[in-house]
Structure 1
Amino acid sequence: MLENSENKTITIHGEAVQPGEAKWIQIPIDRLPTGTLIDIPVYVFNAEKPGPTLLVQGGLHGDEINGVEIIRRMLFEGCYKVKTGAVIVLPLLNIFGFIHFSRQVPDGKDVNRSFPGMKKGSLAARIAYHVTQEVLPHVDFGIDLHTGGAQRHNHPQIRFTADFKESEALANVFNAPFYFSTSLIDKSFRKTAYEMKIPIIVYEGGESMRFDEYAIKEGIQGILNVMKYLNMIDKIDPMLIEREESEYLTERKWLRAPTAGMFVPQVLNGSSIEKEEILGFVTDTFANYCKEIKAPYSGFVFCINNQAVVNQGDALFHVGA
């Protein structure tokens, strides 16, 4: 394709976005019991010059608000005005979960376990269906924004698909503090995209229902890094102290509570650890026992459970090397 040729037109839900145009498109999903119509908001920024189409998606889980804020700030600052290709932005996919401060939709189903969806299925399946049918066919690369679930706090990290080289390349370019491969989960957004040969990376930063300024800035920086890599933008102004490279983790392990009690971490999330180092304690309320949680090997902590009272078997630390 010649460098000065015109970019493609992107059509979503019957709305055409011509080269050089930006549009806000609404895909109707359902109504609240009050009758209020609920739409999936989609922003499309289509450059005049041809190039790849990047999807940036937040709020697949309604209580994971850091991704929503990352996208909001980038929309406010005009970060998606690209010189080549196109950016499709889904700022808040699971609006129902967002309204109810919940990971799921009201019937308890997880949208990220409902792909590729069904036109006349459950609410979660219908949301997944519209993304699969109307958005993904236009996408060449994607960034899916998440946080830790429940009260687990994820230090900024990127997850990619091991046998998808384009996915690993994007993970490296994003340059989060940590990156590693994870297996594909059945009926997940990433697996459906994989089957459509679309490389997706998943950014995890912070915890649900709580803003984390550091995770937000890392997310913005990483998205800009990917856009620069795809030749969509020219310049990146660093928001954070630059690292030489991400830490690539090839070994990971969850450390779990050996008994019920109060959990007291002794290390900071994201810090390096030494084998046999005491990472935290689980103790009872009457000082009758105190169980140490030790590092199984030297490496890093990249997730800490912020729940103070835990049960036996609860995930406390995610460590890797």
Structure 2
Amino acid sequence: MLSEMDVVEENKDIIIGGQTVSPGEEKLVKISIDRLPTGTLIDIPVYVFNAKQPGPTILVQAGLHGDEINGIEIVRRMLAEKRFKVKKGAVIAVPILNIFGFIHFSRDVPDGKDVNRSFPGTKKGSMASRIAYHYVSEIMHQIDYGIDLHTGGGQRNNFPQIRYTAEDSQSGRLAEIFNAPMSFASKLIKGSFRNAAYRMQKPTVVFEAGESMRFDDFAITEGMQGILNVLKHLGMTSDNTSTSVDTRKTIHLNGRRWLRAPTAGMFIPEVVNGGEIKKGQEMGMITDTYAKHTKRIKAPFDGYVICINHQAVVNQGEALFHVGMP
């Protein structure tokens, strides 16, 4: 069972980028990664809040994909509001892991590789592989738990949801404590951060909310509250001040399916993201520009909408709705 009793017996120094953050210290440290062709050095900024009293070390990270800015804003707001000040244990907060992608408004790094498919990385590999390698070497071996903040890719809007690893009971418990509107087990993906964390026996959850390059205040608020819920449960802080999220319990989903476009055309959704659906309900339609042909998309089962594609013009086979079954 996940609790503050599951942690190390005494607090410890945290060493990142050759800098030591002792118990009772707060410090901004940096991990040197690479240089731009201009010679500009690129660092990953890492904020460390290390309490004097012993407790767990939790990593809160965002920007693994550079265009997923809701997670970046979650960390920024919590830093600005001093929500990471803890009385026990330590928080390692990384606002932007993929600096290169953020600079270029891109999911990937300049060589086209995905950092979240490059873990655990290699010291002399591609840019993405080197970022992953340094991150594992500098940070991951020092943490007890991880919260990885993400956003829907492209124009896909994820309703706030927490994903955990079915094979890791503590990951499932962490998701329950986070208490996002939706939660479900998700398969491990080769080369992903969560897969690397699982192999290192570091319980980790992934929070997905909103769509890339667009702020979603509801998604941001839900993410902040979830992190506060975890910190409070682990006894690291007494600050569980509400961020205006209601006190409902997470809806656990046991099955999921993507509904895809049966034909090309203009896509018009007719349901609300996060809303409940009934089997056979019309969820939206695809129509041609001449109003001659229309295809209706119907719900395959009773459940909930957890993602909507906001792309107005779609091709056959493109994902339109992600739906979950409780």
Give the alignment's TM-score, normalised by structure 2: 0.96
2:35 aligned residue: 31
What SS does the aligned partner of 1:120 have?
Answer: coil
Could you tell me how far 1:244 is from its partner in structure 2? Answer: 3.0
Alignment deviations for residues 229-285 of structure 1 (CA, whole Å, 9 cap, x no partner): 111111311122423310000011100000000000001100001110000000110
Question: Equivalents in 2 of 1:258, 1:320: separation in Å?
Answer: 20
- Letter of the 1:157 counterpart: Q
The match for 2:167 is: 163
Measure, in 2, the Cα distance between the counterparts of 1:160 and 1:207. Answer: 20
Q: Output the CA distance in 2 between the equivalents of 1:104 and 1:161.
A: 24
Contact 1:6 1:19 in 2 (8 A): no
Whether contact under 8 Å (1:145, 1:203) holds in the other structure is yes
TM-superposition CA deviations, 1:138-169 (whole Å, max 9, x none): 01000000000111000000000001011001
Paired position in structure 1 for 2:254: 250
Aligned partner of 1:281 in structure 2 is: 285
- 8 A Cα contact 1:6 1:48, kept in partner: no
Identical pairs, percent? 63
1:84 lines up with 2:88 in the alignment: yes
Q: Which runs of 4+ in 1 moved over 4 A?
A: none
1:75-224 residue pairs with structure 2 within 5 A?
A: 75-224=79-228
Partner amino acid for 1:140?
D
Residues 116-153 of structure 1: per-residue CA shift (max 9 Å, x gap): 00111110001000111110010100000000011100
CA distance in 2, matches of 1:299, 1:54: 33
Name the CA distance, whole Å, in 1 between partners of 2:19 and 2:245: 41
Aligned residue identity for 1:308: A
The code of the aligned residue for 1:314 comes to E
Q: State the secondary structure of the residue aligned to 1:30.
A: strand
Which blocks of at least 5 consecutive residues in structure 1 are unaligned?
none
The answer (yes or no) to whether the contact 2:63–2:69 under 8 Å persists in 1 is yes
Match of residue 306 from structure 1: 310
Instruction: Tell me, yes or no, if structure 1 residue 47 matches structure 2 residue 63.
Output: no
Give the Cα separation in 2 of the matches to 1:40 and 1:120.
18
Aligned pair partner of 1:290 in 267, 291, 294: 294
Check the 8 A contact 1:217/1:240 in 2, yes or no.
yes
Q: 5+ unaligned residues in a row in structure 2: which ranges?
A: none
- Counterpart Cα distance in 1 of 2:50 and 2:176: 26
Amino acid at match of 1:161: T
For residues 164-190 of structure 1, the C-alpha deviation after alignment (integer angstroms, 9 at most, x for no partner) is 011001101111100000010001110
- Distance in 1 between residues matched to 2:267 and 2:28, nearest whole Å: 46
For the aligned residues, what is the CA RMSD? Answer: 1.2
CA distance in 1, matches of 2:239, 2:260: 44
Give the aligned partner of residue 23 of structure 2: 19
CA distance in 2, matches of 1:140, 1:123: 27
**Does 1:265 find its partner at 2:269?**
yes
What amino acid is aligned across from residue 172 of structure 1 in structure 2?
A: E
Describe the SS at the equivalent of 2:247.
Answer: coil
Rounded to whole Å, the distance in 2 between the matches of 1:138 and 1:217 is 28
Question: Aligned partners of 1:131, 1:197: CA distance in 2, in Å?
Answer: 16
Contact 2:152/2:211 (CA < 8 Å) preserved in 1?
Answer: yes
The CA distance in 2 between the partners of 1:104 and 1:241, in whole Å, is 32
Letter paired with 1:164: D
SS in 1 for 2:139: helix
Contact 2:61 2:147 in 1 (8 A): yes
Deviation of 1:6 (Å): 5.5
Would the aligned equivalents of 1:43 and 1:90 in 2 still touch at CA under 8 Å? yes
- The whole-number CA distance in structure 2 between the counterparts of 1:25 and 1:12 is 7
Q: Which moved more, 1:5-14 or 1:307-316?
A: 5-14
2:320 counterpart residue number: 316
